[in-house]
Amino acid sequence: MEFKAKEIAEILKGTVVGDPEVKISTFARIESGKPGAICFFANPKYEHYVYDCEASVIIVNDTFEPQKPVKATMIKVPNAYASVAALLDYVTAKRRSYKRYRGCHIKRFFSTRIGRKVYVGSGTYLGRHAEIGDYTKIYEQVYIGDNVKIGSKCIIYPGVRIYPGMVIGDNVIIHANAVIGSDGFGFAPLDDGSYKKIEHTGNVIIEDDVEIGANTTVDKSQMGSTIIRKGVKIDNLCQIAHNVEIGENTVMAAQTGIAGSTKVGKHCIIGGQVGLAGHITIADNTTLAAQTGVISSIKTEGQVFLGSPALPHKQFLRAYAVFRRNGKE
């Protein structure tokens, strides 16, 4: 797909500095831009690449004032990072085609309700009374259980398993081999030392605009719902246990594990390999650095935590200085 600089500027509501007729047909990182490619510059530490980049077009913040001549045509926008995300969305939507039942060997029932222009890949199973919204794309080898509800404009990648009774909103993306709605890890200890399984009768509710990474698992609740609120972004290989609730627009990096009945607030940032104990609450706007271990509730909003067990940022740095000093003695 080919665009002129002036067309991109119109899409992004930006301003062209340079040749508005120059054409691009691919995306590239700014350190490896080639003719015919479009790049973006948002992080100041990459500024030196702007002057040497061979790309045809570079998207930059409108506050950027070059210190040297720039070979490429620039498109100035209020937020370069957000603009390139919007442009990628635009191009992807243009490329995507929705054809109903292009695949073959699809198992479905008369009670399954499928919206307009839905794509379903080969080998996919659609359960009884399942509902699929308009323009949703379900790739090959997906299992969708009975009474599942999936909204409009969703993308369900190959190998995803969605257990019966789960509810998924609009514009949700679920990557390959994720599991939505498996039983939580609940067992009652018996007098003889064995464990009796506790049946889970609830479900998972995933609200609009959520993205869930590959091989992530979201367990259904014992009673009620495990809830992933609007705008949450979850990376690959994460574990969300039963009865968990994750607040709006929280982001979570890979290999994070959240134990049962924990509530995470809105706009939180959770780094890779973070572990959260069960039955705790995390305040809104909390940041948990990579490998942080949280064993008790965080009640004050807007704090940054590090370490295991988790400590507030400044306290952790003071403690770490003591650890280093003692380690040298």
d(CA 89, CA 98): 16
Quickly count: other Cβ atoms within 10 Å of residue 251's Cβ.
16
Least confident of 99-103, 221-225, 296-300: 99-103
pLDDT of 298 reads 97
Q: In one letter, which amino acid is 214?
A: A
pLDDT digits (tens, 9 = 90+) for 189-221: 889 999 998 889 899 999 999 999 999 999 999
pLDDT of 329 reads 59
pLDDT of 23 reads 94
Position 319 confidence tier, pLDDT thresholds 50, 70, 90: confident
On the 0-12 / 13-18 / 19+ scale of CB atoms within 10 A, 95 is: exposed
At residue 103, does pLDDT exceed 60? no
Token pair, residue 110, equals: 């008369």
pLDDT of 223 reads 85
| 3-class secondary-structure state, position 323 | helix
At residue 102, does pLDDT exceed 60? no
Least confident of 90-104, 154-168, 307-321: 90-104
pLDDT of 104 reads 52
pLDDT digits (tens, 9 = 90+) for 255-279: 999 999 999 999 999 999 999 999 9
pLDDT of 222 reads 87
Average pLDDT, the chain: 92
At residue 146, does pLDDT exceed 90? yes
Token pair, residue 256, equals: 């994070």
Position 127 confidence tier, pLDDT thresholds 50, 70, 90: very high
Q: How many CA atoms lie within 13 A of 209 on its CB side?
A: 9
pLDDT of 215 reads 98
At residue 324, does pLDDT exceed 90? no
Catalytic-residue membership of 242? yes
Please enumerate in sequence order all residues whose Cβ is within 8 A of that of 85, keeping only pairs 6 or more positions apart, or say none.
none
Among candidate residues 105, 242, 267, 279, the one labeled active-site is: 242
The domains of the chain, with CATH numbers, are 3-95 (3.40.1390.10), 113-317 (2.160.10.10)
- pTM for the model stands at 0.82
